[in-house]
Chain A
């Protein structure tokens, strides 16, 4: 079940738009923050509240790489491989990420700590190649920089199995 505070936030958000469906994306983001991913329950609830059919919510989720229909790792690593990043070596960085984490695109490490995803433009071309971990940006990436970052994140985990 979704929390009362979230449902209250839903009401507030929906009230802000002339058309209810305009509130769909923020609703999904807040729900994802609470649940961890956009579950079937969230889809049904959001569809009901913004008065669209569930399939239209599914369409929106599919379009945005920030929305996930299935649980992802604690740290969701999204590497941009669009044009600016690609020209600055994003493909090599992404390949390295796969090797370092031992997973492929759209997979999660067995300990549930990291997920990896190749995404379209993050809007960070000025710092290409760029990536996003959860809601934070990391720019001018190199394989070395990535390794250091991952090690630091792992250290912060009390009972890391890696």
Chain B
């Protein structure tokens, strides 16, 4: 017997070192994109599918060409937008002059190609593939979470592979919990790699892999038995079968028992469309079920799981009134007249300038519009502001001043841009969908991404050039680029050079750029070649709408200046009332007024200034009257004389405007007993104060906005069919009074102001405990 060896018999041969000029894929992905791309600009190719003549651009896949002709070819591993896999073999079709059946998902069309998708041979092949897929797949459809919306179930129903020729018993592995939100059931998995690819290519997290081989292959998470990722749940949504299931939805209901309503997510400012699924007046699930809207199937962890605050048992459901120093549960019938009585008394004694109003980043355009009208015409004060998370006003002012048309980029534009410059912000955390769009642009359209940031952010992986600046140095760098500063670093010089070679850049900027720096950025940006477009990044669902609707002391709805008598006259004619001439206080000045005692009464709608502005709570004690309309008890509401329980985004109708200025419809999906929307509250207060406005619904207000707010003359039908309709604001708002008025909350992927504190899902994942800005 020969000696046992314990060393590998492989030897290193003397080979030449690798050549440096070989192609290495650019931005890292597991599978460098080899997918063919259709070229819509080229002469179309004509082919025949099932006897139908189809004209498509060259580079189109047969499966997509068939879709255009209205012919469905079943597929699992193929997913539009992801790299090609060719793993499931479900899309086999017969192509004349090709010897064997071909996969429609990897075959590119050719002129004169003749394709048959429904021959006996093809049908038999599909049936056989299904038989293979069902080898170990349990036939537990009646109790499976995916039953009723399962792509495998649908295909078996169509092709009838109910019988199996395998005699062996099925392999089984126990179900695994990858995280509180993601579960994996091995036997149901058909190894289509969709989850692996979407996590890698779409989210750039790469949390999944395929472990082991053959019949024992399984999806494995990145941390042994657990996932560490952005917890977006895209893998669950994209899974064609019931292998990956959602921790918040699984085994609660059947999909056909739910009522579905398409609405807009209420967290960040990207305005993703989401479908809320309701049963018995409770939200059970959110996903963008029909893939409508600009986000398609995309939702981040907040959009997919962060709605559960709506059902939280600490929601305020009855007005609270302070009696003998304690807030006691009351009724609307008692609370509203009390608000009116106290307000009227303060105005009578100290004048309207002693009253101030703070608005919200999440309420609808209609509510914001009415809040402005309420403050200016019913209360008679311009002391009106909100927590500004981006300087939209300066952007509008700068673009109007430069007389530049078509300079607002839509969120769809970002995905097909050829060049993108991101200044400040961390879109991965603060604007997950915009980050997704940026990655799409780089991956699918070879866009060049440039970053100018003081911190390390995840998008660096996609960037062509990263310019890292000192903390708070973004604005200074912009001034340098614009030639307003003598200190231009080499990096900035290169950035300038690179951008001058581009043919149209989208400039996306965060709260780091505000006031006159926005003007500088815009003026410099407009000197770049091609059509430069701009996006300002505001934090929340309707941060943009709050600015557009004039929740600002010196700016009217539509960015007219309060000092501009023509702009004033236009709004006054709509309101049938005078806007007070006395200039108003901004939010910092309002809070100082509270401290100094000059502000006697404060109305707060959906905002928490105690936390946001680090306002000492005892200052609120100096107020003669404080009213707060909120979903939950907050640090501010605890000091209030009256707390009104407001409705959440799921319980009201209206419109919201995303950070790119696109208006979308918010639909009422459920009711919450005891609550009232801000719109209803404002209508009631105005009526009680002697202003019986004629609006009956949010639609009435929207019509007035469309008719009277500059830039909002949008086509109502487009809005009603669910499109994101871009506004074209133009106006000459006054310059930003002070830069400390604009600052972002810097939410992470797992936080969203007050409401995220009441979300079980967002707080249940371990990733939420990671330090701020953690890169997954």
Contact = CB atoms under 8 A, between A and B. Distances in A.
B211 A29 contact: no
B673 to A, nearest CB: 47
B586 interface: no
A62 interface: yes
A58 B220 contact: yes
B12 A59 contact: no
A19 B209 contact: no
Interface string A32-70: 010000000000000000011111101100110000000
B565 interface: no
Nearest to B18: A18
A63 B211 CA distance: 7
A12 B211 CA distance: 28
A33 B7 contact: yes
B6 interface: yes
B4 A75 contact: yes
A62 B212 contact: yes
A120 interface: yes
Interface stretch (B22-30, B544-552, B660-668, B690-698): B22-30
A120 B213 contact: yes
Nearest to A59: B209
Given A18-B18, A58-B209, A62-B220, A136 B12 contact: no
A30 interface: yes
A9 interface: yes
A19 B23 CA distance: 9
B221 to A, nearest CB: 8
A129 B616 CA distance: 81
B5 interface: yes
A153 interface: yes
B247 to A, nearest CB: 21
- The dominant DSSP class at the A interface is helix
Interface in B361-408: none
B8 interface: yes
Contacts of A18: 18-19, 22-24
B10 interface: yes
Contact of B28 (A30, A51, A54, A120): A51
A120 B215 CA distance: 11
A106 B707 CA distance: 75
B8 A33 contact: yes
B200 to A, nearest CB: 9
Interface in B161-218: 206-214
Given A51-B28, A152-B1, A59 B10 contact: no
A58 B211 contact: yes
A13 interface: yes
A103 interface: no
Nearest to A65: B213
Given A13-B12, A53-B222, A59 B211 contact: yes
Nearest to B20: A18
A99 interface: no
A114 B208 CA distance: 33
Contact of A29 (B8, B24, B209, B210): B8
Interface in B7-40: 7-10, 12, 15, 17-19, 22-24, 28, 30
15 contacts: A16-B18, A17-B18, A33-B6, A55-B206, A55-B209, A56-B30, A56-B206, A62-B210, A63-B213, A120-B214, A133-B4, A134-B4, A135-B5, A135-B6, A149-B1
Interface of A: 9, 12-13, 15-19, 26, 29-30, 33, 51-56, 58-59, 62-63, 75, 120, 133-136, 149, 152-153, 156
Q: 7 shortest A-B CB distances, which residue pairs?
A: A62-B211, A18-B22, A59-B209, A55-B209, A62-B212, A55-B222, A15-B17
